[in-house]
Amino acid sequence: MIIVMKPETPQETIDGMLEKIEAKGLKPLHMPGAERVVLGALGDERVLSELSFDADPHVESVKPILAPYKLVSRELHPHDTIVTVGDASFGGQRFGLVAGPCAVENETQLLASAKAAKDAGASVLRAGAYKPRTSPYSFQGRGPVGLEILADVGREVGLPVVTEVIETADVDLVASKADMLQVGARNMQNFALLKAVGAAGKPVFLKRGMSAKVDDLLLAAEYIMAAGCEDVILCERGIRTFETATRNTLDLAAVPLLKQKSHLPVVVDPSHGTGKRDLVAPMALAAAAAGADGVMVEVHFDPPAALSDGPQSLYPDQMKALGDRLKALLPVVGRTF
Amino acid sequence: MIIVMKPETPQETIDGMLEKIEAKGLKPLHMPGAERVVLGALGDERVLSELSFDADPHVESVKPILAPYKLVSRELHPHDTIVTVGDASFGGQRFGLVAGPCAVENETQLLASAKAAKDAGASVLRAGAYKPRTSPYSFQGRGPVGLEILADVGREVGLPVVTEVIETADVDLVASKADMLQVGARNMQNFALLKAVGAAGKPVFLKRGMSAKVDDLLLAAEYIMAAGCEDVILCERGIRTFETATRNTLDLAAVPLLKQKSHLPVVVDPSHGTGKRDLVAPMALAAAAAGADGVMVEVHFDPPAALSDGPQSLYPDQMKALGDRLKALLPVVGRTF
Amino acid sequence: MIIVMKPETPQETIDGMLEKIEAKGLKPLHMPGAERVVLGALGDERVLSELSFDADPHVESVKPILAPYKLVSRELHPHDTIVTVGDASFGGQRFGLVAGPCAVENETQLLASAKAAKDAGASVLRAGAYKPRTSPYSFQGRGPVGLEILADVGREVGLPVVTEVIETADVDLVASKADMLQVGARNMQNFALLKAVGAAGKPVFLKRGMSAKVDDLLLAAEYIMAAGCEDVILCERGIRTFETATRNTLDLAAVPLLKQKSHLPVVVDPSHGTGKRDLVAPMALAAAAAGADGVMVEVHFDPPAALSDGPQSLYPDQMKALGDRLKALLPVVGRTF
Amino acid sequence: MIIVMKPETPQETIDGMLEKIEAKGLKPLHMPGAERVVLGALGDERVLSELSFDADPHVESVKPILAPYKLVSRELHPHDTIVTVGDASFGGQRFGLVAGPCAVENETQLLASAKAAKDAGASVLRAGAYKPRTSPYSFQGRGPVGLEILADVGREVGLPVVTEVIETADVDLVASKADMLQVGARNMQNFALLKAVGAAGKPVFLKRGMSAKVDDLLLAAEYIMAAGCEDVILCERGIRTFETATRNTLDLAAVPLLKQKSHLPVVVDPSHGTGKRDLVAPMALAAAAAGADGVMVEVHFDPPAALSDGPQSLYPDQMKALGDRLKALLPVVGRTF
């Protein structure tokens, strides 16, 4: 940690800070310059976070040297983590295709949509039973009934299922029905929920928040791993920017960046990332080319009848075409489908 | 609702949509133009939201006419709502000053900080017992013990207290100890939590999410009101933008805008809005001048020793000076302190 | 154009607006609803822009139906425009690789870097003689001398050259030396410059501004086409968002979106888009997979010695490897190199 | 400057960097830690910018200690600069009110609008003769004729005038007619223009770019001061964010922040900052409360007839009311009107 002091800081303030650094077991450094005094703290500076040196009015700025996370970091865990969900896996040579409708609406809808996903090569079925919606007047999901339908349809088509959990109280129930728990973008910093899903004994699919920096996402994953879960998949799904032509701005550069910083698999959701059906396939292919370990795509057997996310849901034939294009592209980037 | 169709949409698609509009009890309109056909739906268009016309591939865009919220809207409720918390009130002629430390650390710290708040003219005491923190290695709050300390100190200094609740399971406990429940920025779209606090029988202090548009904030408030709570205070606390010189970008224009759109009181938090102690007072005064119904300010009896948010916490003498300046300014904008 | 009136607008105001719409040759529509009156104007609504209906205090909002641009629109020009620069072309089946150093520093540097570009398969050489720099204390480019060096080196390696022009006064000189004129991100809304380069008789390479929406970029291109130039290449190079882990946020979804809206070729600059050498190749491949007509990549024969943009410049062997990977990937998306 | 090296950097690389630091006349520091080696360079680190250490693949990050600007910095120039324009001044005890229509349309329009500005207490008249417009189909300004009208009307009402210059070639002409030259938001990083206006011998009114950080604005002002101009006024006018309810997001916290970092006066433009007439007065008052040295406000004698920016232009009576409210508020913050 580097601490830049304001001009004319009293020597006793500086001495006090150096003592605090030493008392925490770190090596203190004192660098007097022409215009500023700079202090350093070498060692595991994370122990200094509670000292909050930046709260001192003599401090101009504090610049960390080490990343604020550990468990998710590639530095201490150089090899890729492979997360297995049923017969699917993420993080190794195989590319994962998670597909399904936004929400469980009923058995007919889910089964038809799940078959479209499976036909296209999906290895995991997605569908929401609990739906966090911006407006209280929108469809809020089928809840426990939806969970049952999802589990039944997953069995019928032979795919493991992932579904979102939005409340700590529901974690056990969802974990008993689903093969993987999803934490949605709006809950990425719902820390109580992160701790609960991390302790549930299932793989966790963690979506990046709309205003989360890459480091915020990694710290959210750190919460989950700190709670005992080693199988976390990170999902880039678009961030909120000034651009309104797309629902979100899909930050694909986050894919190779996350892979550098962390050993966890990275999946891309081009459906929420763009909000537009016509942009989903190009962005799914781009994600694969950028090195993603998989994509999550929304497909509905009849999008105009969908109770949510219809505009970004693929038709079954579009889903099939995307599966075929992924199959052709993946070998070029050293993957198989 | 205005629906713009793509060129060359088949007439039967158009006819089908007009029928659906009519079937929902709205008045359909058909406006054929040179390049596009435009459809309209007049009436309470919110009933159309489940039809999701924008999921139809023939639809180019859908433009709502009416606001998506009702209960929070000033249109149906033209008079200002006044929210009363203990002896304090928000939304009328009196300006509310909510002050206190970021977190409950211990009795000594809270009492000294609370006295500084009270001396400066605060009408409500704030302090967090449950702290949502970006890193799992940061101080996470004192929990139930902190709630007890807060309630005790509030009684001792004679101020009502507001504190954040971060999980549905804690709502009853927090509601039994606090005079007002706070929903933090990271939980603004934790809809399960919004429903729970809305049903808890206490006023709710709702902070705007870091990436929430003004309409998102109003829809979050709509969740709370729809759950039975009429006493909601909206809080502007800064949004996340590209500017890194401040912790967030305080969007003060949201104050008069929210007051136009809604009858609910609007409070500004310049502490989180700027993240810098030296900017808190100017922004608190600016908030008052812009028409805010109050401000929420962090004060700590010893900021460099604070376990969280030290850099943005005022010293007691700065808090006092801010109180004095607010007292001088408020009459100019027709308020009293 | 759809005009939503505020409640209780006087009838005479409405009548006056309908008359103005008709007077401009458009078909006026009057749609009285329960809560709002809505007006419409069908036809080429761009003629209404000078009336600025939204300036009337009785108007709640104005929603355009048609895109604000014409010449760049795919609607009136459905076939892809192919821009030819020397032996290179953009917009057809061939994928264009523009490469070279950020700036012309001297003959040795440029020649070595240009050879690295050519070896990797580049079809156009890039290098800046005029450098817009955030700080006045940074290297500002070699100016006219740099232009000469660039032209010489381009001839020597047998590649057409593109270089940035930053001032109207320089347009003729730059046009006499370069095969294509580049307008940089910071000048995307320097409208005097857009008009001048549009009249210079050379193809124009237009970079998206850091805070430009897709429609702003298309309107900037409209300025250039309106000035007489038919050969405009649009370049996505990242936008400014809250994410600081990368220099900019590369908005790859803009590629298929721009291709839908416009007939102009679209090129991606992953060097500025990420600012990090290690992210350039993954994003270049992703751009190709997303349907881009080419990429612009910075390469320097000795990046740590570069006077600008060293951190994002590829080493020659990285450039060669990227060329090879593009060659392998492009056939999968129906392109050749 | 602090340079963090990647793990396992060869010693010779480190030695080479320390030598380069010393060769530039700075004091090098070597801080070997457990996980990283950290280097330091103490002294005027701005001389290191051309070395671009961050281009070396062994370097993890470079953290500057000193601000990148000098002339605009308060550190070397602790007293407030007062910029005088005719009888108006900015930066001292008096608060400046710049007002007028967006554009010069004709003599009648400008004179009537200028009188409204003067009646409200304006000390400087604003109006654009050259208008940078997003669309080539929008009104582009009256050009030289507009300049003449502006100068005439300024004389007639007895106010100095400020107007925008959008091209280097026009600087001399505009400087011969106007009392202050404005650089607009879109040209804030048109560095050729900054140099030209800095050498023109007139005060410069510099607007913050839509995606400019506070430091970018200060560096743009540094260009102008480096070209010889000591009289620069900084103008906060809103930045581009995800919020679409207002035209821009007015970043009022930038006011006290800029005043801390720089000795230059700071003015706020709530008209462009909000884009909505009803929000202009609250934000002008907030700006005054936040410590701004003045505001720039658009007023038009007949806003619905304005050729540009009508929706954000005040009516004359609103302008007058704002002047009266400012008069009442300013003494509270130690200013006079």
What is the residue-level pLDDT of chain C in tens, covering all 337 positions?
889 999 889 999 999 999 999 999 998 988 887 778 989 888 888 788 777 899 999 999 998 888 889 999 998 899 999 999 999 999 999 999 999 999 999 999 999 999 999 999 999 999 999 999 988 988 899 999 999 999 999 999 999 999 999 999 999 999 999 999 999 999 999 999 999 999 999 999 999 999 999 999 999 999 999 999 999 999 999 999 999 999 999 999 999 999 999 999 999 999 999 999 999 999 999 999 999 999 999 999 999 999 988 999 999 999 999 999 999 999 999 999 8
In the complex, which subunits touch D with 3 or more CB pairs below 8 angstroms? A, B, C
CA dihedral (B67, B70, B72, B75) positive or negative = positive
B254 CB within 8 Å of a chain D CB: yes
B40 CB within 8 Å of a chain C CB: yes
C243 CB within 8 Å of a chain D CB: no
Percentage above 90 pLDDT, chain D: 84
- Mean pLDDT value across chain B: 95
A36 CB within 8 Å of a chain D CB: yes
Which among C63, C65, C242 has the least Cβ separation from residue B241? C242
Contact (CB<8Å) B49/A277: no
Contact D298, D116 (CB under 8 A): no
Percentage above 70 pLDDT, chain B: 100
Q: How far is A183 from chain C (nearest CA, A)?
A: 21
D253 CB within 8 Å of a chain B CB: yes
pLDDT tens by residue, A226-258:
999 999 999 999 999 999 999 999 999 999 999
Q: How confident is the model at residue A141 (pLDDT cuts 50, 70, 90)?
A: very high
Contact A289, A246 (CB under 8 A): no
DSSP-assigned beta bridge partners for residue D246: none
pLDDT surpasses 90 at A165:
yes
Contact (CB<8Å) A286/C289: yes
D285 CB within 8 Å of a chain B CB: yes
User: pLDDT at position A50, please?
Assistant: 72
Contact C147, C171 (CB under 8 A): no
Q: Which residues in chain A touch residue B53, judged by CB atoms under 8 angstroms apart?
A: 304
How much is the average pLDDT of A161-170? 96
Identity of the amino acid at C215? D
Contact (CB<8Å) B273/D255: no
Which among D2, D27, D36 has the least Cβ separation from residue A63? D2
How much is the average pLDDT of D15-37? 88
D251 CB within 8 Å of a chain B CB: yes
pTM for this predicted structure: 0.96
- What is the chain A residue with the closest CA to D243? A242
- What is the chain B residue with the closest CA to C248? B242
Lowest mean per-residue pLDDT among B22-31, C26-35, D166-175: C26-35
CB atoms under 10 Å from CB of D308, counted, come to 24
How much is the average pLDDT of B135-162? 96
Q: How confident is the model at residue A49 (pLDDT cuts 50, 70, 90)?
A: confident
pLDDT tens by residue, A18-29:
999 999 999 898
Contact (CB<8Å) A282/C253: yes
Contact (CB<8Å) B66/C241: no
Contact (CB<8Å) D245/B214: yes
pLDDT tens by residue, A297-328:
999 999 999 998 899 999 999 999 999 999 99
Q: How far is CA D177 from CA A287, C146, C273, D122, D150, in A?
A: 56, 37, 42, 19, 8
pLDDT surpasses 90 at A47:
no
- For the CA atoms of A270, A274, A278, A279, the dihedral, rounded to the nearest 10 degrees, stands at -60
Rounded CA-CA distance B26/D65 in Å is 63
pLDDT tens by residue, A88-97:
999 999 999 9
- State the count of interchain CB pairs (< 8 A) between A and B: 120
Q: Which residues in chain D touch residue B270, judged by CB atoms under 8 angstroms apart?
A: 253
User: pLDDT at position D65, please?
Assistant: 85
How much is the average pLDDT of D203-209? 98
Contact D316, D324 (CB under 8 A): no
How much is the average pLDDT of B54-60? 93
> Please, which residues 58-117 of chain C have a Cβ atom closer than 8 Å to chain D?
68-69
Q: How far is A51 from chain D (nearest CA, A)?
A: 20
D215 CB within 8 Å of a chain B CB: yes
How much is the average pLDDT of D265-273? 98
Rounded CA-CA distance B150/B139 in Å is 17
Q: How confident is the model at residue A138 (pLDDT cuts 50, 70, 90)?
A: confident
Contact (CB<8Å) B135/A210: no
B260 CB within 8 Å of a chain C CB: no
Report which DSSP code applies to D137.
T
pLDDT surpasses 80 at B50:
no
User: pLDDT at position A15, please?
Assistant: 95
User: pLDDT at position C1, please?
Assistant: 87
Contact (CB<8Å) C63/B66: no
CB atoms under 10 Å from CB of C175, counted, come to 18
Q: Which residues in chain C touch residue B240, judged by CB atoms under 8 angstroms apart?
A: 242
Contact A102, A306 (CB under 8 A): yes
Q: Which residues in chain C touch residue B35, judged by CB atoms under 8 angstroms apart?
A: 66, 75
Q: How far is CA B27 from CA B2, B202, B264, C273, D206, in A?
A: 12, 41, 32, 48, 51
pLDDT surpasses 90 at A82:
yes
pLDDT surpasses 90 at A269:
yes
Q: Which residues in chain A touch residue C241, judged by CB atoms under 8 angstroms apart?
A: 239, 241-242, 249, 251
Sequence-ordered list of residues with C-beta below 8 angstroms from that of A52, at least 6 positions apart, any chain: B304, B306, B307, B308, B310, B311
User: pLDDT at position D142, please?
Assistant: 95
In the complex, which subunits touch C with 3 or more CB pairs below 8 angstroms? A, B, D
- What is the chain B residue with the closest CA to D331? B329
Write out the two tokens for C111: 């020649």
User: pLDDT at position C115, please?
Assistant: 98
Phi-psi region of B291 (alpha: psi -120 to 50; beta: other; left: phi over 0): left
Which among C55, C138, C211 has the least Cβ separation from residue D306? C55
Q: How confident is the model at residue B36 (pLDDT cuts 50, 70, 90)?
A: confident
D44 CB within 8 Å of a chain A CB: yes
pLDDT surpasses 80 at B95:
yes
Q: Are strands C294-298 and C266-268 parallel, antiparallel or unpaired?
A: parallel
- Mean pLDDT value across chain A: 95
Q: Which of D27, D31, D76 to mutate to test the interface with A (most CBs of A within 10 A)?
A: D31
- Mean pLDDT value across chain D: 95
Which among A43, A75, A244 has the least Cβ separation from residue D244? A244
A137 CB within 8 Å of a chain B CB: yes
Q: Which residues in chain A touch residue D33, judged by CB atoms under 8 angstroms apart?
A: 27, 42-43, 65
Percentage above 90 pLDDT, chain B: 84
In the complex, which subunits touch B with 3 or more CB pairs below 8 angstroms? A, C, D
